[in-house]
């Protein structure tokens, strides 16, 4: 090859290499732009479900169905291979947010960072309220809708056990595919542990004979007050009544005994009509819990506040607090204070309503 031809060849090779470098840089920039740019065409709140047997192309097709137009199949394959996600996408539900990039999504699917939802059992719910809330939870699979309470407890592995009070109020995380039975199983196990811990910590002269009695009393304390610092005092008051053989005379047990017939108002006839849950007509604890007590109520019953209180009544100022008394005479005086505040509040409500009506007429 002549020197001139060699120079010509070298120049051509340089141009080819330069073109290849430019093309490679362009392709790399386009690839990295694809990998780290937010997915186009999605709205916050959308999710992507990877089902058993889904390949990467199937997942990309599902993305297309949600409105995502980002990337070519070859780019998704190259990125998945680079990230070690090829053939390792985990089954589950994944969030699609506006700032989600292909890289973030593939890493999430590779590592199984699925959407975790929440279901909260509220302190003081009874079993009817709990089951109604589970039925409304559309993200859960429903396995218990057609089961009565007895069949439900059998399905949970506790045949013959009454369901009331047996599920710990707490927030439980779950993923797509979990069922209402899964939530109940975890809540039942959590209550067993919380009750066992409270029973171990009970004070040495407790009048309670079994963990089940502790659960029943904790459910009553839970329903009587939402004020945390009052729980140990009310627990001590009820224990004092049990110790001296005084009836508990607590309205929440009467209301529970009324069941679905309770209309929001407790009347004198309810207090005098005997049922297994009427603690005005029967001594001792009712036969089962009346609600789901939280950990604080369990702990209050395990370590009640010392004292000689035997009576309590609402303050009547809307705070939810109570007035406590050792004697019936003190209690009667507290009741009169409550009634006075109640009448004043009702009078103020009526005056406010009259003022509104007057303004409307004007």
Helices marked H in 112-209 — which ranges? 127-136, 149-155, 180-200
Mean pLDDT of the chain: 88
Please tell me the distance from the alpha carbon of residue 220 to that of residue 110, in angstroms, as a whole number: 48
Q: Helix and strand tally (H, E) in the chain? A: 13, 6
User: pLDDT tens-digit profile of 82-122?
Assistant: 999 989 999 999 999 888 899 999 999 999 999 999 999 99
Of 315, 333, 328, 316, the residue nearest 249 (C-alpha):
328
Phi, psi of 314 (to 5 degrees): -60, 145
What is residue 73's predicted lDDT score, i.e. its pLDDT?
Answer: 87
Residue the block writes with tokens 């013959």 = 160
Please tell me the distance from the alpha carbon of residue 304 to that of residue 242, in angstroms, as a whole number: 13
Q: What percent of the chain has pLDDT over 90?
A: 68
What is residue 21's predicted lDDT score, i.e. its pLDDT?
Answer: 43
Residue 79 has pLDDT above 80, yes or no: yes
Residue 359's pLDDT band (cuts 50, 70, 90)? low
Q: What share of the chain is helix, strand, coil (3-state, %, to 5)?
A: 55, 10, 40
What is residue 9's predicted lDDT score, i.e. its pLDDT?
Answer: 52
Point out which residues pair with 171 in neighbouring strands: 120
Between 236 and 67, the higher pLDDT residue: 236
Phi, psi of 63 (to 5 degrees): -60, -40
Residue 250's pLDDT band (cuts 50, 70, 90)? very high
What is residue 331's predicted lDDT score, i.e. its pLDDT?
Answer: 93
Please tell me the distance from the alpha carbon of residue 131 to that of residue 152, in angstroms, as a whole number: 10
Q: Which of 21-25, 35-39, 204-208, 303-307 has the lowest mean pLDDT?
A: 21-25
- The pLDDT of 28-43, averaged and rounded, is 75
Q: Which of 148-157, 237-246, 337-346 has the lowest mean pLDDT?
A: 337-346
Between 204 and 166, the higher pLDDT residue: 166
Task: Kindly provide the b/e burial profile for residues 91-108, where b requires at least 16 CB atoms within 10 angstroms of the residue's own CB.
Answer: bbbbbbeeebbbbbbbeb
Residue 296 has pLDDT above 90, yes or no: yes
Helix-helix angle 127-136:180-200, to 10 degrees: 140
């Amino acid at each position: 090859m002549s020197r001139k031809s060699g120079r010509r060849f070298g120049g051509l090779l340089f141009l080819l290499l330069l073109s290849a470098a430019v093309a490679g840089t362009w392709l790399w920039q386009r690839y990295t732009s694809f990998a780290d740019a937010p997915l186009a065409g999605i709205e916050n709140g959308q999710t992507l479900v990877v089902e058993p047997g889904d390949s990467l192309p199937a997942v990309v097709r599902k993305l297309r169905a949600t409105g995502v137009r980002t990337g070519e199949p070859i780019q998704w394959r190259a990125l998945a291979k680079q990230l070690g996600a090829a053939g390792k996408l985990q089954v589950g539900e994944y969030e699609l947010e506006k700032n989600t990039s292909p890289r973030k999504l593939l890493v999430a699917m590779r590592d199984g960072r699925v959407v975790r939802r929440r279901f909260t059992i509220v302190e003081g719910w009874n079993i009817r309220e709990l089951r109604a809330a589970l039925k409304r939870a559309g993200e859960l699979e429903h396995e218990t809708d057609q089961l009565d309470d007895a069949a439900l407890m059998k399905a949970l592995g506790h045949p013959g056990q009454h369901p009331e009070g047996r599920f710990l109020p707490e927030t439980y995380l779950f993923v797509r595919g979990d069922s209402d039975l899964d939530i109940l199983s975890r809540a039942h196990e959590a209550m067993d542990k919380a009750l066992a811990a409270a029973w171990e910590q009970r004070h040495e002269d407790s009048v309670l004979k079994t963990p089940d009695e502790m659960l029943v009393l904790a459910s009553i304390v839970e329903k009587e007050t939402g004020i945390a610092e009052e729980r140990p005092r009310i627990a001590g008051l009820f224990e004092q009544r049990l110790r001296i053989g005084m009836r508990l005379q607590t309205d929440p047990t009467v209301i529970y005994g009324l069941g679905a017939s309770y209309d929001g108002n407790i009347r004198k006839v309810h207090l005098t009509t005997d049922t297994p849950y009427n603690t005005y007509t029967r001594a001792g604890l009712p036969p089962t819990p009346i609600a789901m007590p939280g950990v604080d109520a369990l702990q209050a019953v395990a370590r009640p506040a010392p004292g000689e209180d035997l009576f309590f009544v609402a303050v009547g100022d809307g705070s939810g607090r109570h007035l406590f008394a050792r004697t019936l005479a003190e209690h009667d005086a507290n009741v009169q204070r409550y009634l006075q505040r109640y009448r004043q509040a009702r009078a103020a409500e009526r005056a406010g309503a009259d003022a509104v009506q007057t303004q409307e007429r004007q």
